[in-house]
Amino acid sequence: MPTAIITGITGQDGSYLAELLLKKEYRVIGVARRSSTVNYERIEHIVDDITVVQGDLQDQGSLLSLLEEYKPSEVYNLAAQSFVPTSWNQPALTGDVTALGVTRMLEAIRFVNPKIRFYQASSSEMFGKVLEVPQNEDTPFYPRSPYGVAKVYGHWITVNYRESFDMFATSGILFNHESPRRGMEFVTRKISNAVAGIKLGKTKELRLGNLEAQRDWGFAGDYVEAMWLMLQQDHPDNYVIGTGETHSVREFCEIAFSHADLDYKDFVVMDEKFYRPAEVDLLISDPSKARAALKWEPAVSFKELVTIMVDSDLARLKR
């Protein structure tokens, strides 16, 4: 039975990846940071099938101990301060966790067992003010937030440990992926939750920032499959993962509200508060390398994703 360590187990992707690895008969060790209240909402249904251990990307010793104790063959580094607006309010913390945290995990692997296969959760935010459309593995980076800058560091330190120490260190450059488990502050979940609230008479309006921003949105359940596939290859590499389609926040609103027989124009209010100091206007992936090398394809379409999220929030709020 292979053992995998997942940092960020309490997050959206951590929960889907744990489900996938359990199906593949892995022993799953999920790393959660200590908090005063337990935060297992996304993993409640599998918590008895995995081992949740305390650890923190800000604490080198905790990472070393974990690797020594559980002897994994694969480490998936999904933990991060991942909300872009927070990265302007807490830029140093974002750098410490999202950038330096990667080095701490790579160092722990180098000391304990450099043969461990390592996955780094890199991001399309690294492309930022895009220098090429669509974006592939060779597109230069131009990050537009402290989060994007931290992810560029995380990406390059992963590549550097691969080249310096011959480690199996892979970087998955994933475009936005969403699900009913997405955090409430991200725009897709904010919209699906508001649509459900408005439909059920609990909310009156939805305040949003830039409706024209365009993203390549896929379903998180499809994307964790790509993470696993990357670590099953003969060699470590970098892969872009996305749908190859882009849609605006406005389009997301149109589909989400109309799925509940509502018109978004009656409820969406523009609010300067949600504009960013520097915006990423357009992201669209070229995932042809992943398609060819990993035989990976997303299964859920954009429209399906929107309706799955709205239906899930409607069901939840009705309960």
Selected range binding ligand F7E among 58-66, 67-75, 254-262, 275-283, rule: CB under 6 A: 275-283
Please report, as residue ranges, which positions from 4 to 43 form the binding site for ligand NAP (by CB under 6 A).
7-8, 10-14, 33, 35, 39
Q: Report the C-alpha gap between 279 and 282 in whole angstroms.
A: 9
- Asked about 285 being catalytic, the answer comes back as no
Selection from ligand F7E, ligand NAP, none that 274 binds (CB < 5 to 8 A by kind) is: ligand F7E
In sequence order, the 6+-apart residues with CB closer than 8 A to the CB of 133 are 282, 284
Please report, as residue ranges, which positions from 195 to 254 form the binding site for ligand F7E (by CB under 6 A).
208-210, 213, 215, 249
Binding marks (x or -) toward ligand NAP, 110..149, rule CB under 6 A? -----------x-x--------------------------
Residue 50 interacting with ligand NAP (CB under 6 A)? no
Position of tokens 């509502």?
A: 262
Selection from ligand NAP, ligand F7E, none that 8 binds (CB < 5 to 8 A by kind) is: ligand NAP
Work out the burial of residue 124: count CB atoms within 10 Å of its CB; fewer than 13 is exposed, 13-18 middle, 19 or more buried.
Answer: buried
Please report, as residue ranges, which positions from 133 to 192 form the binding site for ligand F7E (by CB under 6 A).
175-176, 185-188, 190
Q: Report the C-alpha gap between 43 and 49 in whole angstroms.
A: 10
Residue 85 interacting with ligand NAP (CB under 6 A)? no
CA distances in angstroms from 93 to 97, 147, 152, 274, listed in the order given: 6, 10, 16, 21
**CB-CB contact of 69 with 112 (8 Å):** no
Write out the residues near ligand F7E by the rule CB under 6 A. 82, 84, 123-125, 175-176, 185-188, 190, 208-210, 213, 215, 249, 274, 276, 279-280
